[in-house]
Amino acid sequence: MGSEKVKAKEYYIKDFLSNKFLFEIPNYQRQYCWNKENINQLIDDIIDAIENNRDDYGDNFDLYEPYFIGSIILCTKNSRDDGSGLYDVIDGQQRLTSITMLVAVIRDLIENEEYKNVLSSLIYQKSNALMGIKESIRLSVRDKEQEFFKKYILENGGTSLINEVDEETLNEAKESMIKAISIFKDKFHDEDGILDKELLNTFIMYLLQRVVLIAITTDSFASAFRLFNVINARGLPLTNSDLLKSENLRAIGEEKQDEYTKTWEDMEDEIGRETLEMLIGFMRTLKLRKKATSTIFEEYVKKVFVDEPNFRGENFIDTIEDIKNIYQKYIVDATIDVNNEAKTNYYNNLMNLMRDGISFNEWMCTVVKFVQKFRDDNALYEFIITLERKITVDWVNGLNFSERTSRLHRIISIIEESNSLEEVLNSDIFTKELNHSRALFYNSLNDSDFYTKGRMMIPKYVLMRMEMEKTSPCKKKLEFNLSKTSLEHILPRRPSNAYWKDAFTTNERKVWADRIGNLIFINGAKNPLHSGKAFDEKLKIYVLKKGEFQINKDIFKQQHWNVENVRKRQENLIDEALKIWMK
């Protein structure tokens, strides 16, 4: 570390929140996002420590043993010889923010005015012109939450006002703060909503006088960042998104850092941190076009940024923002800008079904790449139709994850190397190779275990995709609620009704029960009590009363269900499938 100074020192909470220290959470830090489990663990662990001490020492508080709550990494911004000063919180901001809110909740619950004033002074000092006192905020959170944090947490009585907040207007960080305050409040009330004053008073004494944390301070951001990547005691695991946010923001000059911090946080608010993490993974795939061999963060640091040093910083954030916009418009909103309503509707229906029905998302990288390369929505329309055929055929044919992703990497390379839509669509992967898959695709559709393919996701997608083609997909936008739709066996897998035992032998049932020709859609969940009923009863219950699906209508004409009928439906459905995916 050279001349960098790193110090570690234990502090009780009462000393850490004293007027000796001021803390700021830099804008490049992740937003506050502790969930219910994190919050409950924080306060429950302290309560458990109190109970354990009480078991050992009774009410003799002087003998109570300390409780270690973890470490916090600080980078010095301005300090004096005695260690007092202003510090950036590099790691531990989730914990420090939670402790601040916990103190605020107790401040607003406790009745002793002296205690209330002391607790208030630990987190906030209002300005007083008459006395010449400047406003002092012990912990300053990110700019986007600071006004909210001040009103509902720092100011006296603030936590009592959370019920007036319209949660629909809040970002993810503010929602998490509201939840934390509610949990903290509940811990100090019994089931009847009565405040447990004894617990409240004992808890705050123990929190301030016996709870210990270790503050690790350094005067170098580089040193603090290295510690940030290594130490994460009792906190949330650092995500690739968190690490890459810091990695890229620190590569940007101070004059633009706030601008790019806002860009990043706006993306987090718009699509959520998990989706942003996914898109960062997509960008890695687009850059490297090979299977990952380490974490996404390490792949960027050791490969992408080594090959493209200038990609770190502004270019990284500009590119991920572009990918976010593409993902939001073309995949989430499923819209294209073409002067053709039929194309617009068909694209919307197909993309919505692909997005919600295909059990893996790696294919989305190819959509992003195609838009980046050509910026032509009419061309994208044609590409998506062909891409969906390729993805579905490979999926139904049982290609494993590695095989599927390898082919998707090839498609990305083909797009990169092509100068037109025609070059892309005429490549071997969409022509010769797809045609060579026809026999295997037929056999896969005809499989006696078709129902179980892909954990039942494949038959559901295939039949819903066929349903789409039967419902005028060019004329209107359809709604596919796959989560509320179920596949039902016409012939039960394990029949007990005499009707089915007469209509099918044991061997015929094994051969036909899980085939595509024996499957229908129903709205809602399956009812085991209905599944075994005779054919005519099932039609009334599942088809007539649970919604109409075009793909089910051929069975309305049947009086009975037997081998001949299921075989005929099997052949018809496979023929229809081949027309869709093997043009």
Answer yes or no: are the C-beta atoms of 29 and 91 closer than 8 Å: no
| Average pLDDT score, the chain | 89
Q: What is the mean pLDDT of residues 363-372?
A: 98
Q: What is the mean pLDDT of residues 190-209?
A: 93
- Residues 435-483 have pLDDT tens digits of 999 999 999 999 999 999 998 999 999 999 999 999 887 887 888 778 7
Q: What is the mean pLDDT of residues 260-274?
A: 91
| Residue 115 tokens, joined | 């205690």
**Three-state SS at 383:** helix
The pLDDT assigned to 475 comes to 81
Taking the C-alpha atoms of residue 475 and residue 339, their distance in angstroms, rounded to an integer, is 14
Q: What is the mean pLDDT of residues 252-268?
A: 90
Residues 6+ positions from 206 with CB-CB distance below 8 Å: 46, 49, 50, 53, 61, 64, 67
With 0.85 as the threshold, say if the pTM is over it.
no
Nearest to 202 by CA among 94, 115, 101, 95: 115
Cα 307 to its chain centre, rounded Å, is 29
Taking the C-alpha atoms of residue 518 and residue 569, their distance in angstroms, rounded to an integer, is 8
The pLDDT assigned to 44 comes to 92
Q: Where would I find the H helices in 188-313? A: 197-210, 221-230, 240-249, 254-271, 273-288, 296-299, 305-307
Spell out the SS3 assignment of 348-375. HHHHHHHHHHCCCCCCHHHHHHHHHHHC
Q: What is the mean pLDDT of residues 108-123?
A: 93
Taking the C-alpha atoms of residue 542 and residue 527, their distance in angstroms, rounded to an integer, is 9
Answer yes or no: are the C-beta atoms of 395 and 458 closer than 8 Å: yes
Checking if the pLDDT of 517 tops 60, the result is: yes
The pLDDT assigned to 144 comes to 82
Q: What is the mean pLDDT of residues 421-437?
A: 97
Q: With cut-offs at 50, 70 and 90, classify the pLDDT of residue 101.
A: very high
The pLDDT assigned to 83 comes to 64
Taking the C-alpha atoms of residue 277 and residue 282, their distance in angstroms, rounded to an integer, is 9
- Residues 228-243 have pLDDT tens digits of 655 543 445 567 888 8
The 67-79 sheet, strands edge to edge: 6-12, 211-218, 67-79, 85-91, 21-24, 139-140
Answer yes or no: are the C-beta atoms of 219 and 4 closer than 8 Å: yes
Nearest to 374 by CA among 317, 330, 434: 330
Checking if the pLDDT of 430 tops 70, the result is: yes
Checking if the pLDDT of 3 tops 60, the result is: no
Taking the C-alpha atoms of residue 484 and residue 529, their distance in angstroms, rounded to an integer, is 19
Q: What is the mean pLDDT of residues 322-335?
A: 98
